[in-house]
């Protein structure tokens, strides 16, 4: 009798197991998207891209970000929260290349898939990284800047980045420095950081120009930084100005020839592909490694279809 009952129970248990697996299959993946800050055109476009991928994959997304871009401790707290809530995957843009290593390792040890978007860490590896080629961007930007000067004309440049300890900013500035070392009569006056503050970027530019009036080229490597530098340059159009970002204000400054060129990374694509990669990893697949596209937009090229597409990527 006991043998008969056991034989009857086995199919029921198997069916029950199949039912649970099927339910798990139908449950959407939960993905935490942790950016460097809440505001900003760049991060807004990334989140819009992620939302678009949510529609394509059915994943459930929750967005987290500190108020200030330099608040890596806030990012650490959000990763800890995602671990505690047992998210299936985390998409993270680390605002510091070492400080988040321990918590990312903890997330991966908990079985959470981790995708880095735009920036990475020095030692702790993610399950996947999606970024632009910032070394190539630096090379293109330097070549464009040099085109505004004759061969024998001295170039004295000021670089103002946003955060000093991110892999993307380090690669970009390193590439610019390499290009300047390879050109005669070209030097970098100094490298400073605004921590995404318009006021700090403005004051930094004003002080640098006052200390060395021979500065004739400025790179602002982030949108809020660009806004601050533009305000500092408004009475002095003699300085060439190359900025990163695609805010409405920057586009107006490009058309008004205050900005010579805008460098725009397709952060919409960055967010979209990050979610796709996370879902593919959760399904046991290996995402295709492909760099995110970018464009160097000038007043002459800004109305082309290609550059209109990347300038206004937020509205895709």
Q: In this predicted structure, which of 6-10, 151-155, 187-191, 312-316 has the lowest mean pLDDT?
A: 6-10
For 159-171, letters b (16+ CB in 10 Å) and e give bbbbbebbbbbbb
* Mean pLDDT across 270-285: 98
C-alpha span between 138 and 173 (Å, rounded): 7
The strand pairing partners of 63, in sequence order, are 33
* Mean pLDDT across 198-215: 97
C-alpha span between 68 and 31 (Å, rounded): 22
* Alpha-carbon distances, residue 204 vs 172, 192, 194, 232 (angstroms): 20, 8, 8, 9
Specify the CATH number for 27-132+267-285; select among 3.40.190.10, 3.40.50.300, 3.40.50.2300, 3.40.50.150: 3.40.50.2300
Task: Write down the pLDDT at residue 190.
Answer: 97
Q: Quick one: tokens of 43?
A: 């991060």
- Averaged pLDDT score across all residues of the chain: 91
Q: Quick one: tokens of 310?
A: 């990347």
Task: Write down the pLDDT at residue 25.
Answer: 59
Task: Write down the pLDDT at residue 238.
Answer: 84
Q: In this predicted structure, which of 7-21, 50-64, 193-207, 230-244 has the lowest mean pLDDT?
A: 7-21
pLDDT digits (tens, 9 = 90+) for 41-78: 999 999 999 999 998 999 999 999 999 999 999 999 99
The structural domains of the chain, with segments of one domain joined by +, span 27-132+267-285, 134-264
Pairing of strands 113-117, 60-64: unpaired
134-264 has CATH 3.40.50.300 classification: no
**Would the pLDDT of 304 be above 50?**
yes
C-alpha span between 24 and 125 (Å, rounded): 28
Task: Write down the pLDDT at residue 164.
Answer: 96
């Amino acid at each position: 009798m006991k043998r008969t009952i056991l034989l009857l129970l086995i199919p029921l248990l198997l069916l029950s197991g199949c039912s649970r697996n099927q339910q798990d299959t139908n449950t959407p993946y939960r993905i935490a998207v942790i950016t460097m800050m809440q505001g900003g055109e760049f991060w807004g476009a990334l989140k819009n891209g992620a939302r678009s991928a949510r529609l394509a994959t059915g994943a459930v997304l929750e967005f987290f970000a500190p108020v200030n871009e330099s608040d890596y401790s806030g990012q650490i707290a959000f990763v800890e929260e995602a671990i505690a809530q047992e998210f299936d995957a985390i998409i993270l843009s680390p605002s510091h290349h070492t400080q988040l290593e321990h918590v990312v390792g903890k997330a991966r040890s908990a079985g959470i898939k981790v995708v880095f978007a735009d920036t990475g860490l020095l030692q702790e590896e993610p399950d996947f990284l999606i970024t632009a080629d910032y070394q190539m961007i630096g090379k293109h930007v330097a070549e464009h800047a040099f085109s505004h000067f004759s061969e024998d004309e001295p170039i004295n440049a000021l670089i103002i980045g946003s955060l000093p300890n991110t892999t993307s900013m380090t690669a970009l500035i390193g590439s610019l420095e390499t290009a300047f070392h390879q050109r005669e009569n070209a030097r970098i006056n100094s490298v400073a950081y605004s921590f995404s503050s318009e006021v700090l970027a403005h004051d930094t530019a004003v002080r640098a120009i006052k200390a060395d009036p021979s500065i004739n080229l400025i790179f602002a490597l982030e949108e809020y930084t660009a806004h601050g530098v533009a305000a500092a340059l408004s009475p002095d159009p003699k300085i060439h100005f190359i900025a990163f970002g695609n805010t409405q204000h920057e586009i107006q400054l490009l058309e008004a020839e205050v900005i010579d060129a805008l460098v725009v990374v397709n952060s919409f694509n960055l967010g979209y592909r990050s979610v796709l990669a996370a879902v593919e990893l959760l399904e046991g697949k290996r995402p295709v490694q492909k760099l995110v596209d970018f464009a160097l937009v000038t007043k002459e090229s800004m109305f082309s279809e290609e550059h209109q597409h990347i300038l206004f990527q937020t509205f895709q």
